[in-house]
Amino acid sequence: MPENDLSILQTQAESRIAVADSDALEELRVALLGKSGTLTAALKALGAMPPEERKARGAELNLVKSALTQALATRRAVLDAAALEARLAAERIDVTAPVRPEAAGAIHPISRTTEEIAAIFSAMGFSIKEGPDIENDWNNFSALNIAAHHPARAMMDTFYLQGGEVLRTHTSPVQIRTMLDWAKNHSTQADAQPIRIIVPGRTFRADHDATHSPMFHQTEGLVIGRGITLGHLKGCLIDFLRAFFDIPALPVRLRASYFPFTEPSMEVDIGWNRKTGELGGGTDWLEIGGSGMVHPNVLANCGIDPREFQGFAFGVGIERLTMLKHGIADLRLFYESDVRWLRHYGFAALSPAMLHEGI
Amino acid sequence: MKFTLSWLKTWLETDASLEDILTTLSAIGLEVEGVENRADTLAPFVIAQVIEALPHPNADRLRACRVDVGDGVERSVVCGAPNARTGLRVVFAPPGAFVPGSGITLKIGEIRGVKSEGMLTSFSELGLEGDGEGIIELPADAPVGARYAKWAGLDEPAIEIAVTPNRGDALSVRGVARDLAAAGLGMLKPFAPAPIAGSGASAVVWHNSFPEACPWVLGRTVRHVKNTESPDWLKQRLESVGLRPINTLADITNFFTHDLGRPLHVFDADKIAGGFLELRRGNGESFTGLHGKEVQAGAEDCIIADAAGAQSLAGIVGGEATGCDEATTSVFIECALFDRVRITQTGQRTGIVSDARQRFERGIDSQLMPQALDAATAMVIELCGGEASEISEAGARPDWSRTAKLRFARIRSFGGSDIGPDEAVASLERLGFGVRARDAASVTLAVPSWRNDVAQPPALDQADVPGAAQAAIGAAEIEPEVDLIEEVLRLKGMDAIPPVSLPVEGLIQAPIYTPKQARTALARRVLAARGLLEAVTFSFLDHETAALFGDAPESLRLANPIAADLDQMRPTALATLSLAAARNVARGFGDLGLFEIGPAYAADTSQALAAAGLRLGETPLSALAPARKFDALDAKADAIAVLGALGVPMEGVTTTPGGASFYHPGQCGTLRQGPKTILAAFGTLHPALCARLDLPLGAVAFEIFLDAIAEPKRRKKAAPVLPAFQPIRRDFAFLVSAGTPAETLLRAAKGAERNLITQVALFDRYQGKGVPEGQVSLAIAVTIQPVEKSFSETELDAISAKIVAEVGKKTGGVLRG
């Protein structure tokens, strides 16, 4: 092959490479550099040349081969880039489309409030006690200083089962169960650990209208020990209510009242604005629960000597606290299980009530 | 209990403002329930005179009146009342006035061609008590043009308070005044009626055959009385607190009931047969009460009878036959002390509510009786004339005197208050307590006769526990003192007590949930995170629906359900949840998931805690995956997710086909740990149940029995094995008989090489062409994890052969060719 043929070959090959598509480029590569390609043949032919010619010819051939190899690679890169771009364009999806749906669950506001109450009282050293919904008369009434003829018993609107058991009208029977256990297990009451419990749970009264449900939830609190005073009752309730409503200066008022199982007895009020419903502001008062020093007769009924031990008890309605905290208007919808209401007022599954995260 | 400010001031000397009085009442335990001033609602109504009343030209039953309202402009008013007559003084409502009794706002109108520029009103139209026939007839001296409310004494606040069951003494205006005075709001005026010197024996005398019910009773006859309408002041006083004036004698008894908390009863002495009244047990006889209804009295009820039979249910309601009316000329006044408990029981038995019952139940002032009878007699003589007889008496003045001791230090160590001894004693004295003895540390006080709630012997109902005897002695000692501390704190106001935070041991509290409580909270979060909405449903429902979910035993039936559909305690929360789901379906929300963690009640009245859930309808619509119906395995997945999260070792949990009868028999199962412990149940609800409850077919449900779940072992985990070799997957398809449980096959494959096989997944179930009738092809992917070295093909083949052999042995399955 004459030497100017080499430059012609290179020029022609380069111009064809520059416009080749992917398949043509491969054909060109094979035609030039393949086993029986033009340049391969020319390189093979070197062996038959006289040594002085071979050296010069070989150098030229290598230059051409290197240039064409480079040209092929450059073109391949261009083609690959174009192909990738075309593929990516073809793979475009509609990212505005909705995701795969996942049904969102929720936790009922009553459960949420109960958890918040537990979180706050845990910080005050309380534990949680539970008791049965179906109670005997003594636990629900007699032990709590509510004798059979007591007018307070008529006020209670009690549900009875056909066997004579009562559906507990309050969570207070669990106070009795707790104190009895305590009295039984401490034959020497001198070294007894004090009682500090809360009792959230279902309660029942035969009353059904816009503001009363035949089943509702209460939390009872009971603190028994030495030197527990009405001042502690007040401090405990104020500490709880301010934490629960997250209003550090929430006004809390105790007002003399009467319950058979406490003496003195007090209603618990918080300050609010009746017109706007805003808690903590305004000049109005809203009743939120009952409280008092445990009646000496109640202690004595459970075998605890009121000369030695004294304490306080309180009860708050869980629905009422929930309605106030979240501005929920209708009590009946708590139990209706309307999925729209449950979604609206329900709480996220994965944010449990924890004091350090805020409640 | 209702009273007006002016009535209160007949007993309380005070300059306090209404606002102060209201605030103090609530603070000392007499909670103000409402304040109403009728001057506000009655402001537009004025006194007028009918100048002339003529028959309406176009209507027989109407009258056309010309009315003078005192402003010099004559009004034309059409009136339908038959008593609208010339010269009558009336109550006039001008156009624009809102008439509270009828709820309308007046406009100028024309009635059958005659102009009507206002209205002449009746008592009921004004929302007042009074005789309902026709328009109000005012006396001839009523000033024309004056505001009616002011003239009638209705222009002042009526205060309503809630009196707690322990405070019988506060069911009287005088009692309220005493409390306010003790709280520093003025001076209580004395009550000292002049003794009445009766003449002659009473025409009616007491016989007492039931002293347990009536320890003491007084009475006297007043002869030659004239019983007409009461004077205006008395009528107004009763009307102001919502009582209807009847006649003077009846009004006097109502007045004393409210003024002194001293219920009285008046008999028409001429209607009493035999000249005596006997207190005795009822014998089933009945009579008509003053409330117009039949009263029947049994052996535990105390009645007052004459020679003709029962005439009154003692302390609760009098009888019509012996009541006083305009014809009465001789009256017998009853003033009795009835046993609180018996009155309560009779009241509950008969269901009769009366002002007298309310006061006897809560306890009256036993020592006030002679004075109260004299005061009532004096008022009868003043208003009705007549002469009083001597007093007839049965029984004796009861011994009531009690003392209570207060150790001053206890005001702080129990009450948390820093009220000093002098202040404490002074406020108790203002309440009527008398100092018997006092030293530096304590005071002993006599309890006033009207405070039946203070220092009564403790009525204990003690459990049989060690220490009960000592505790009873303690209660007897402490209770009176607590009564006194309560009075001292109450009058000062609870606001004065400084709050003290409870002391805690250490800054960081131990967790307070029991393991079961913690598991319950976690189960709730797991289910909510799986897309289920937590519901809270009632513990009771109708017994027929309850029976669909198992048992509806009599032992769980309510004796007094509030509604027929709430008469049975639920056997499972699924029962009430299903009703809740059906309500949502009826509202058009049929694709849903609900759960509840709550009690299920057993026939022995015990209860167990379960997490129950329901899924209905289909998964949500999406372009990315077709919606599909929920099935029993979705419910199983919920149950497994909770069990796993609660730390149940799931490799030990087995599924048994079958379950409760409310499930589809072929689509339900039970999750067990070992042979005995049932952890959960799941399945498709029975189609018959769905049809009964209007639930869509195919609804699925689960129950997780939280009480059955053992506390997880708190062992530290061993270090995990993390081999460096890649796991290998081998797929197998087995032909097994169609009823073969997949779980058996999966367990067999896993068990073939327990230490090497980390996972066995069922990825295909096929029946049809190529699979013999009665058989099914189950395809599994087995993951083999080399631990110490890579496996050669020969070794893998050996493992595969073991798997095939083990599956064949446990299920009879063969590799599909």
Instruction: Concatenate the DSSP letters of all residues of B472-526 into one string.
Output: HHHHHHHHHHHHHHHHHHHHH-GGGSPP-PPP-SSSSPPP-S-HHHHHHHHHHHH
Q: Which residues of A touch B494 (CB under 8 A)?
A: 230, 234, 253-256, 264, 266
Runs of H (alpha helix) within chain A: 3-19, 22-33, 38-45, 51-90, 109-123, 137-140, 151-155, 173-185, 230-245, 296-301, 318-326, 333-336, 339-345
Is some CB atom of chain A closer than 8 A to the CB atom of B416? yes
Distance CA B708, CA B723 (A): 37
pTM for this one? 0.86
Candidate from A126, A295, A304 with C-beta closest to B471: A304
Q: Residue B540: which of B568, B512, B559, B500 has the closest Cα?
A: B568
Pick from B350, B370, B395: which residue ends a domain? B395
Residue A283 forms contact with B (CB below 8 Å): no
- Would you state the pLDDT for residue B467? 87
What is the widest separation between alpha-carbon atoms in chain B?
A: 130
Tell me, yes or no, whether B170 and B144 share the same domain: no
Residue to substitute from A339, A340, A350, A354, interface B, most B β-carbons within 10 A: A339
Q: What is the arithmetic mean of pLDDT over A333-344?
A: 97
**Closest residue in B to A122 (Cα–Cα):** B512
Q: Is residue B259 located within the same domain as residue B351? A: yes
| pLDDT over 70 (residue A187) | no
pLDDT of residue B37: 83
How distant is the Cα of A114 from the closest Cα of chain B, in angstroms?
10
B23 and B47 housed in the same domain: no
| Residue B157, in any domain of the structure | no
Domain assignment present for residue B484? The answer is yes
A124 touches chain B (CB under 8 A): yes
Q: What is the CATH number of the domain that holds B111?
A: 2.40.50.140
| B501 occurs within a structural domain | no
- The pLDDT score that the predictor gives to residue B430 is 95
State the best of A93, A110, A111, A153 to mutate against chain B, taking most chain B CBs within 10 Å.
A111
Contact A263 B483 (CB under 8 A): yes
pLDDT, tens digit (0-9, with 9 covering 90-100), for A240-260:
999 999 999 999 999 999 999
Residue B290 and residue B169 in one domain: no
CATH, residue B581: 3.30.930.10
Last residue of a domain, one of B367, B395, B423: B395
Closest CA of chain A from B640, distance in Å: 17
Q: Name the helix (H) or strand (E) containing A253.
A: strand A252-259
The model's confidence at residue A57, banded by pLDDT at 50, 70 and 90, is confident
Residue where one domain finishes, among candidates B395, B416, B435: B395
Q: Which residues of A touch B492 (CB under 8 A)?
A: none
- One domain for residues B545 and B612: yes
Are B651 and B695 within one domain? yes
Q: Tens digit of pLDDT for each residue in A289-310?
A: 999 999 999 999 999 999 999 9
Given an 8 Å threshold on Cβ–Cβ distance, is B502 in contact with A125? yes
* Domain that includes residue B255, residue range: 205-395
Q: What value of ipTM does the predicted structure carry?
A: 0.89
Q: How many CB pairs under 8 A join A and B?
A: 336
Q: Is residue B368 part of a domain?
A: yes
Q: Are residues B167 and B85 in the same domain?
A: no
Q: Is the pLDDT of residue A35 over 80?
A: yes
Partner residues linked to B558 by β-bridges: A161
Cis amide leading into B480 (omega within 30): no
Domain assignment present for residue B37? The answer is no
Is A118's Cβ below 8 Å from some Cβ in B? yes
Nearest CA in chain B to A133: B607
CA distance B168 to B261: 8
Q: Does A101 touch chain B (CB under 8 A)?
A: yes
In a domain, B502, yes or no: no
Closest residue in chain A to residue B524, using alpha carbons only = A107
* Same domain (yes/no): B95, B48: yes
Tell me the per-residue pLDDT of A134-151, one tens digit each, with 9 for 90 and over. Answer: 999 999 999 999 987 776
Q: Is B161 on the interface with A (CB under 8 A)?
A: no
Q: Is the pLDDT of residue A188 over 70?
A: no
Is the pLDDT at A27 greater than 70? The verdict is yes
pLDDT at B443: 97
- B680 and B764, same domain (yes or no): no
Q: Identify from B167, B494, B589 which residue to disrupt to test chain A contact, counting A C-beta atoms within 10 A and taking the largest count.
A: B494
pLDDT at A189: 53
Specify the pLDDT at position A240.
Answer: 97
Which residue on chain A is closest to B513 by alpha carbon?
Answer: A128
**Measured between CB atoms, which of B28, B536, B622 is closest to A108?**
B536
Q: Which of residues 330-359 of B touch A (CB under 8 A)?
A: 340-341, 344-345, 348
The pLDDT of residue B275 = 93
- Partners of A106 on chain B (C-beta within 8 Å) are 528, 533-534
CA distance A121 to A130: 15
Residue A180, pLDDT score: 93
Identify the residue whose tokens are 């009493």.
B272
Q: Tell me the average pLDDT across A185-198.
A: 75
Per the structure, the count of domains in chain B is 6
Same structural domain for residues B480 and B565?
Answer: no
Does a structural domain hold residue B719?
no
Closest by CA position to B487, among listed B431, B414, B528: B431
Report chain B residues whose CB lies below 8 A from the CB of A356.
Answer: none
| Bridge partners for A269 per DSSP | A253, A287
**B285 and B379 belong to one structural domain:** yes
pLDDT at residue B99 in the model: 87
Low-confidence ranges of chain B (pLDDT < 70): 129-132
* A168 chain-B contacts, CB cut-off 8 A: none
Closest CA of chain B from A298, distance in Å = 8
Q: What is the pLDDT of residue B300?
A: 94
Got the DSSP string for B610-657?
EEEEEEESBPPP-SSS---B--HHHHHHHHHHHHHHTT--GGGEEEEE
Interfacial B residues in 522-541 facing A (CB < 8 Å): 524-540
CATH number assigned to the domain comprising residue B485? 3.30.56.10
Asked whether residue B565 falls in the same domain as residue B659, the answer is: yes
Residue B510 lies in a domain: no
Q: How many residues does chain B have?
A: 817
- Residue A277 and residue A282: Cα distance in Å, rounded? 9
Q: Is B416 left (phi over 0), alpha (psi -120 to 50) or beta?
A: left
